[in-house]
Amino acid sequence: MDMLLQTYTALSIIMAVYMSAWCAVAFLIRRNDVADVAWGLGFFVVTVAAFVMGSPLVDRGFLVVVLVGVWALRLSSHIYLRNRSKTEDYRYQQWRHDWGKWFYLRTFLQVFMLQGFLVLVVSLPAVLTTIYRGGSWQITDVVGFAIWLFGFFFESVGDRQLANFLKNPANKGKLIQTGLWKYTRHPNYFGEIAQWWGVGVISLAVPYGVVGLIGPLTITWLITKVSGVPLLEEKMARHPDFAEYKRKTNMIVPWIPKSS
């Protein structure tokens, strides 16, 4: 446990510097939505740092570094490419207006520092696995990896299907209800949650691994109750087709649509 506390002390300093740098970039270019790019990359920074500070064994720790790295780099690059030709995300624009004279301080604390803290919490199973690594391969490694792959498929394919749908002029004003979006209203969010549960299952093979489940529990709560699904569904609710789509399609967990 002392090793975990020492590692998290160092990681907290690293994350504070990392998020402060991104906050400075946001102020310079007047785009607080760079925080969404910083989010995914932050997990990679934390996981790599923990790996470097961990035990000398490679196998399981290296696997987790790769899984988190693939997820983080794909997500951050997707968000960057999606946003680069647009104006600042509407959520951040609203906060810019609402926070008034406290905008800079609240941006630093409530956007970047809070996000850095959440990165440290959600990444707990990855940190545990990279600093302790555990012994030989276990069935939890296989199950966790399979869950991660399933989640990665849903998130990456769901994002691609949505991007292609929005690019097609014939779909202007329509609500996507095809592909993976036929089986869940948020395949990309489901995928992100599943990937972190996969990492959480892998962490069960190392000391204090059960504590690592705090990470996937936290990301599940954040996405379904705080900043993911609620905000997006509030926006989607304005669409005339949303009520029927909501009735027949599961919110998160994919399932066969209900009949009309």
Largest CA distance in the chain: 59
- In this prediction, residue 57 carries a pLDDT of 61
Report the pLDDT value the prediction gives residue 17, as an integer from 0 to 100.
97
Q: Are 171 and 184 in contact (CB under 8 A)?
A: no
* pTM higher than the cut 0.85: yes
Q: Are 133 and 206 in contact (CB under 8 A)?
A: yes
pLDDT at 83: 86
Query: Average pLDDT per run of 10 along the chain, which is 260 residues long?
Result: 84 96 94 92 95 76 94 94 84 84 92 96 94 83 97 96 93 92 96 97 92 96 92 89 92 89
Q: How far apart are CA 91 and CA 188, in angstroms?
A: 19
Give me the pLDDT at residue 228, please: 85
Structure tokens given for 173: 């004003």
pLDDT (tens digit, 9 = 90+) per residue, 45-93? 999 999 988 766 658 888 999 999 999 999 999 999 988 888 887 788 8
Residue 170 per-residue DSSP state: G
* Element housing 16 (H / E): helix 2-29
CA–CA separation, 95 and 116 (whole Å): 19
Are the C-beta atoms of 131 and 207 separated by less than 8 Å?
no
41: region left, alpha or beta (phi > 0 left; psi from -120 to 50 alpha): alpha
- What gap in Å lies between CA 145 and CA 253, rounded to an integer? 19
Q: What was the pLDDT predicted at 260? A: 67
Say which DSSP state 177 is in.
-
